[in-house]
Amino acid sequence: MPDSTSGISRRQFVRRCAGFGAAMAVSSALSACSIGFSYKPTTEPDNADLGLKEVAGQKSVLFGAATMQATLLADPSFAAAFANHVGLLAPENDLKWETVEPQPGIFNFAPGDWLADFAAQHDMLFRGHCLVWHQQIPSWAGANVSAAAAAAQLTSHITETASHFAGRMHSWDVVNEAINPEDGRSDGLRKTRWLQTIGPSYIELAFRTAAEADPHALLTYNDYGLELDSSDGDRRRAGTLKLLSGLLAAGVPVHALGIQAHLRADVRFNATKLTDFIQHVADLGLQIFITELDVADRALPADIQTRDSVVANVYQDFLQTVLAQPAVKAIITWGLSDRYTWLSQYAPRFDGQPVRPLPLDASMKAKPALWAVMDALNATEARASRRI
Ligand code: G3I
Q: Are 88 and 63 in contact (CB under 8 A)?
A: yes
Q: What is the pLDDT of residue 346?
A: 97
Q: Are 175 and 221 in contact (CB under 8 A)?
A: yes
Task: Give dist(CA 383, CA 60) in Å, integer.
Answer: 5
Q: Are 237 and 179 in contact (CB under 8 A)?
A: no
Residue 256's alpha-carbon distances to 170, 232, 316, 328, 385, in angstroms, are 12, 22, 23, 9, 15
**What are 91's strand-pairing partners?**
67
Coil, strand, or helix at residue 5? coil
Q: What is the radius of gyration, based on Cα positions, of the chain?
A: 21
Q: Which residues does the annotation mark as catalytic?
A: 177, 292
Task: Give dist(CA 208, CA 206) in Å, integer.
Answer: 6
Ligand 1 — pocket residues by CB below 6 A? 92-93, 135-136, 176, 260, 292, 342
Axis crossing angle, helix 304-323 with helix 10-18, rounded to the nearest 10: 120
Phi, psi at 312, each rounded to 5°: -65, -40
- Sort 144 into a burial class: Cβ within 10 Å, 0-12 / 13-18 / 19+: exposed
Going by alpha carbons, the residue nearest to atom 25 of ligand 1 is 342
Q: What is the pLDDT of residue 293?
A: 98
Q: Report the nearest atom of ligand 1 relative to the CA of 346.
A: 43
Average pLDDT of the chain to the nearest whole number: 91
200-206: long-range contacts (C-beta < 8 A, 24 or more apart)?
202/132, 202/150, 202/151, 202/154, 203/132, 203/175, 203/178, 203/243, 203/247, 203/252, 204/247, 204/250, 204/252, 205/151, 205/154, 205/155, 206/131, 206/132, 206/154, 206/158, 206/174, 206/175
Distance of CA 328 to the CA centre of its chain: 13
Q: Report the nearest atom of ligand 1 relative to the CA of 70.
A: 17
User: What is the model's pTM?
Assistant: 0.91
Q: How many residues does the chain have?
A: 388
Tell me which residue of 108, 267, 133 sits closest to 190, measured CA to CA.
Answer: 133
CA of 261 to the centre of ligand 1 (A): 18
Mutate to test the pocket of ligand 1, among 69, 71, 93 (most ligand atoms within 8 A of CB): 93
Q: Are 318 and 269 in contact (CB under 8 A)?
A: yes
Q: What is the pLDDT of residue 32?
A: 34
Tell me which residue of 70, 79, 69, 114 sits closest to 360, measured CA to CA.
Answer: 79
pLDDT by 10-residue block (mean), the chain, 388 residues:
38 43 42 46 88 97 98 98 98 98 98 98 98 98 96 98 98 98 96 98 98 98 97 97 98 98 92 97 98 96 95 97 98 98 97 98 98 97 73
CA of 254 to the centre of ligand 1 (A): 27
Q: What is the pLDDT of residue 385?
A: 64
Q: What sign does the dihedral 183-188-129-81 (CA atoms) show?
A: positive
Task: Give dist(CA 224, CA 334) in Å, integer.
Answer: 13
Q: What is the pLDDT of residue 386?
A: 53
Q: What is the pLDDT of residue 268?
A: 80
Phi, psi at 193, each rounded to 5°: -65, -30
Q: What sign does the dihedral 148-151-155-157 (CA atoms) show?
A: positive
CA of 30 to the centre of ligand 1 (A): 31
Task: Give dist(CA 23, CA 21) in Å, integer.
Answer: 7
CA of 281 to the centre of ligand 1 (A): 30
Strand extents, DSSP E, 249-360:
256-259, 262-264, 287-296, 328-333
